């Protein structure tokens, strides 16, 4: 049991280090040797858990970027509070410093490398969500809204009062999200008029 715990802790340390270095340096400038040094393990040990740097990046993305599942759940709820629930879920992620570092690393790396962009894209709409019958356009649009608002917030582009007040952020964005969640929301209306 101690070995399993040690292996799990080592894998988590590698993931944390990779997420931090992807955030700081981007995908292209992050080496597996640097990740191992930061995680305090032998570089060969990374190969035990991850087949390649791309595989490590994919694991970081999968653990970090996960709005589609929450969006699908909000769509299935179908109640008037679903948009507010979803916004609170997003704000909780935005306020978690570890999650923030990982999100920034994923976005920075996606800007660097086409393969990283493809992995991020697949994470925003995983196969199980697409197969669930959820409106893919709405999932993409809500995910994009969350990424844009979160990035603007982190860069100081939003009004400080709004950016620092979670409740105000929820109140401001919940009606927009509710429009996307509605059965004939923005995406449905856009398709109907084209």
Question: How confident is the model over 29-79, as pLDDT tens digits?
Answer: 899 999 999 999 999 999 999 999 988 988 888 777 777 778 888 888 878
Of 16, 38, 18, give the one whose Cα is nearest residue 27. 18
- Please spell the DSSP secondary structure of 130-146, one letter per residue: HHTT--HHHHHHHHHHH
Query: What is the pLDDT at residue 4?
Result: 52
Give pTM, 2 decimals.
0.68
Cβ contacts of 100 within 8 Å, gap of 6 or more: 94, 154
Q: What are phi and psi of 185, to 5 degrees?
A: -65, -165
User: In whole angstroms, what is the distance from residue 177 CA to residue 155 CA?
Assistant: 22
User: In whole angstroms, what is the distance from residue 168 CA to residue 98 CA?
Assistant: 23
Q: Which two tokens stand for residue 179?
A: 């429009």
Query: What is the pLDDT at residue 187?
Result: 43
User: In whole angstroms, what is the distance from residue 61 CA to residue 119 CA?
Assistant: 7
CATH superfamily of 2-62: Homeodomain-like (1.10.10.60)
CA 12 to chain centre: 17
User: In whole angstroms, what is the distance from residue 162 CA to residue 3 CA?
Assistant: 47
Query: What is the pLDDT at residue 194?
Result: 40
Low-confidence ranges of the chain (pLDDT < 50): 1-2, 5, 186-194
Q: Which two tokens stand for residue 163?
A: 């950016």
CA dihedral 125, 126, 132, 136 (to 10 degrees): 10
Query: What is the pLDDT at residue 126?
Result: 65
Of 151, 68, 69, 70, give the one whose Cα is nearest residue 104. 151
């Amino acid at each position: 049991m101690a070995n399993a715990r040690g292996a799990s802790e080592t894998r988590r340390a590698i993931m944390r280090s990779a997420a931090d270095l992807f955030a700081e340096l981007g995908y292209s400038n992050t080496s597996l040797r640097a990740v191992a040094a930061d995680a305090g393990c032998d570089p060969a040990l990374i190969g035990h858990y991850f087949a390649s740097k791309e595989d490590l990046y994919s694991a970081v993305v999968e653990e970090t970027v996960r709005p589609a599942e929450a969006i699908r759940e909000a769509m299935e709820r179908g109640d008037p509070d679903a948009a507010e629930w979803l916004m609170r879920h997003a704000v909780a992620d935005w306020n978690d410093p570890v999650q923030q570092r990982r999100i920034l690393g994923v976005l920075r790396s996606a800007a660097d490398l086409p393969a990283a962009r493809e992995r991020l894209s697949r994470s925003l709409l995983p196969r199980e969500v697409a197969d669930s019958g959820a409106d893919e356009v709405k999932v993409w649009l809500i995910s994009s809204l969350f990424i844009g608002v979160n990035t603007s917030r982190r860069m100081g582009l939003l009004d400080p009062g709004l950016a620092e007040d979670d409740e105000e952020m929820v109140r401001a964005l919940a009606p927009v999200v509710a429009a996307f969640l509605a059965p004939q929301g923005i995406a449905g209306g856009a398709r109907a008029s084209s």
